[in-house]
């Protein structure tokens, strides 16, 4: 088996959290700035650290604003769910003898609030959150941190995500990238060794 480790992004890959993310951010801007920004103008924030997105929006205190965003997201917690096919995929990958990991732009609090309630966190041996490496995606640092923790070589890993940031992180770490398309195709082309239209297709990766 070439790829002993399958490493996943969370948002847009394992977890369909787009509605909660964007509407929580919209609420946050309304509270802080007194204006309503259309959701389509906030899509750039998907897949990048919350504080980075808030800085791009010109928010003066992104740390406090990110905490407010997390609280606002919980209003929409009922919309956050695993993508179809993920819950059944993970035990089958473990049966193949794979080690499963996560590299995410979420911080630990966000991971606990959004992902752990889904009931599948136990399948993942190693979780690298945004605060666990010196620089976030699209830098290589998060995957380099994963490899350092697991003693894994780049050739043994496929990183699976849904954004250009995920792809660049993999490229810069020397890791093959699989593009998750089940949440929708990205607006712009994303370089990938593999393209997965359904989670079950990952089972065939060598």
Q: What average pLDDT does this structure show over 143-167?
A: 97
Task: Note the pTM of the prediction, 2 decimals.
Answer: 0.90
User: Which position has the token pair 């889904």?
Assistant: 118
| pLDDT score, position 185 | 79
CA distance 6 to 166: 14
Give the pLDDT mean for 9-36: 94
CATH superfamily of 5-16+80-204: HAD superfamily/HAD-like (3.40.50.1000)
Find tokens 């620089």 and name the residue. Answer: 135
> Which pLDDT score is estimated for 12?
93
The secondary structure of residue 62, as a DSSP letter, is: H
- pLDDT at residue 49, rounded to an integer: 85
C-alpha to C-alpha distance for 187 and 31, rounded to whole angstroms: 29
11 phi and psi, to 5 degrees?
Answer: -65, 125
pLDDT for 43 beyond 80: yes
Percent of the chain at pLDDT exceeding 70 = 100
pLDDT tens digits, 162-172: 999 999 999 99
- Check residue 46 and give its pLDDT: 86
Q: What is the pLDDT of residue 182?
A: 96
Instruction: Please give the share of the chain, as a percent, with pLDDT higher than 90.
Output: 86
The domain spans of the chain are 5-16+80-204, 18-79
Among the listed residues 61, 60, 53, the one whose alpha carbon sits nearest the alpha carbon of residue 22:
53
Q: What six digits make up the tokens of 174? A: 């020397």
Nearest to 162 by CA among 139, 141, 188: 188
Query: Tell me: the pLDDT tens digits for 92-140?
Result: 999 999 999 999 999 999 999 899 999 999 999 999 999 999 999 999 9
Q: How far is CA 205 from CA 46, 47, 160, in A?
A: 27, 24, 12
Q: What is the mean pLDDT of residues 175-192?
A: 91
**Res 176: pLDDT:** 98
Q: What is the pLDDT of residue 48?
A: 81
Strand partners, 179: 161, 195
Residue 47 pLDDT > 80? no
- pLDDT, tens only, 53-81: 999 999 989 999 999 998 999 899 899 99
pLDDT, average across residues 160-182: 97
The pLDDT, as a whole number, for residue 184 is: 86
């Amino acid at each position: 088996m070439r790829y002993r480790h399958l490493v996943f992004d969370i948002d847009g890959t394992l977890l369909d959290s787009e509605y909660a993310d964007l509407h929580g951010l919209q609420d946050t801007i309304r509270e802080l700035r007194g204006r309503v920004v259309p959701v389509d103008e906030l899509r750039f924030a998907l897949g990048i650290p919350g504080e980075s997105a808030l800085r791009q929006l010109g928010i003066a205190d992104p740390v406090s604003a990110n905490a407010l965003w997390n609280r606002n997201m919980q209003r929409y917690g009922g919309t956050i769910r695993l993508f179809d096919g993920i819950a059944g995929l993970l035990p089958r990958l473990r049966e193949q003898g794979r080690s499963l990991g996560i590299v995410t732009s979420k911080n630990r609090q966000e991971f606990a609030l959004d992902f752990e309630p889904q009931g599948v966190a136990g399948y993942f041996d190693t979780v690298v959150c945004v605060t666990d490496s010196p620089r976030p995606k699209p830098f290589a640092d998060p995957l380099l941190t994963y490899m350092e923790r697991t003693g894994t070589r780049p050739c043994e890993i496929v990183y699976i995500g849904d954004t250009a940031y995920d792809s660049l992180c993999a490229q810069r770490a020397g890791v093959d990238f699989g593009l998750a398309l089940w949440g929708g195709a990205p607006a712009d082309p994303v370089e990938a060794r593999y393209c997965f239209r359904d989670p079950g297709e990952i089972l065939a990766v060598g």
